[in-house]
Amino acid sequence: MTDKDKRISYNVRVAKTIERKMLVSSFHRLVALGRLEDYQYVGMGAYYFSDFELIHKSLGISRMTSIEWDVNEAKRFTANVPFSCIDIKFGEASDVITELDLSVPTIMWLDYDGTLDSTKLLCIKRYCADAVERSLLIVTVSAAPEQIREEKRDERLNKLAQKVGRDKIPPGTTERDLPSWGTACVLQKIIDAEIRETLEQRNAGLDDGDKVKYRQLFNFIYADNVQMLTVGGILLSQRDTALVDDRLFKDLPFIQTGSDAYRIRVPVLTLRERRYLDTLLPLRDKLPVFKHMPNSDVEWYKEIYRYFPTFAETNI
């Protein structure tokens, strides 16, 4: 958890909440591979534990670990733990991962707010080196382009190389690839390459039937206030690969197996407008054109209405 976490309530970030619900809806599909209750969840709960609450209540997972680095805030973390089944481990994530029991199927969400760097890549490597088949890895990082001075040549590219290592930069990447959402595209490639390189090393010398493969499922971009990227997928044995490829996640519209990202756009609609649209959904075809509502917002809402959060002020 960083100082930024202390200023942000993760419960009211709309795009983040939509992403969280989309992820959990995909986790439900894992029941085709085994009992959801047999999974463990490892995340970064901060003070809010929003993902922990949703995953425990929705999936029934009771073996849960939250990784927190700020031991000085231990009392506050402990005071906000919503369930007794959540264990908090303090320390750098790269060190904590080596202490985890990864012999059981695991859903790990490395939910950072900072940009990608060599320490985060080490976390990815250590997890993928030991996680068993049917485990998932999700990584969230800031994808905001670096602020640069116009007179500095290749400044964004050089800053990225300093953070992740020059050898991690995808071949052919130039400064022109990094403005706007281009940074997210480059970071997705770096994360994907780290996962696949680690598995290639892990699989060296193994028979095909014993090798673990990676299937990307998630490639989200969104911005509540800062541009963010979430990339991840599932580790599979040879026997499970065909099942996942053929049908397991196929009908979920946000599943992205390549470099093209799914952008979570938050429609600007009133509660009354959303309630009216709900009465028309689900709908395979385009929704009618409404004079009083922007058509783009209507179409975005049609895509994500099942995951759209409802916030309300109340006295408890």
User: What does the pLDDT look like over 57-115, one tens digit per residue?
Assistant: 999 999 999 999 888 899 999 999 999 999 999 999 999 999 999 999 999 999 999 99
Residues of the chain with CATH 3.40.50.150: 3-263
Phi and psi angles of residue 115, each rounded to the nearest 5 degrees, phi first: -80, 170
| pLDDT at residue 292 is higher than 60 | yes
Contact 192, 231 (CB under 8 A): yes
Give 64's strand partners.
41, 86
pLDDT tens digits, 173-217: 999 999 999 999 999 999 999 999 999 999 999 998 899 999 999
Torsion, Cα 56 126 32 55, to 10 degrees, reads: 10
**Mean pLDDT, residues 1-6 taken together:** 47
Contact 104, 40 (CB under 8 A): yes
- Report long-range pairs for 300-303 (Cβ below 8 Å, ≥24 apart): 300/265, 300/266, 300/267, 301/267, 301/269, 301/274, 301/277, 302/277, 303/253
Q: What is the pLDDT of residue 95?
A: 97
Q: What is the pLDDT of residue 150?
A: 66
Q: What is the pLDDT of residue 3?
A: 45
Hey, what are 145's tokens? 């382009």
- pTM of the full predicted structure? 0.93
Q: What is the pLDDT of residue 247?
A: 75
**Mean pLDDT, residues 157-177 taken together:** 96
Q: What is the pLDDT of residue 229?
A: 98
Residue indicated by tokens 């481990």? 89
Cis peptide before 282 (omega within 30 of 0): yes
Name the CATH code of domain 3-263 (choices 3.40.50.150, 3.20.20.120, 3.30.365.10, 2.30.29.30): 3.40.50.150
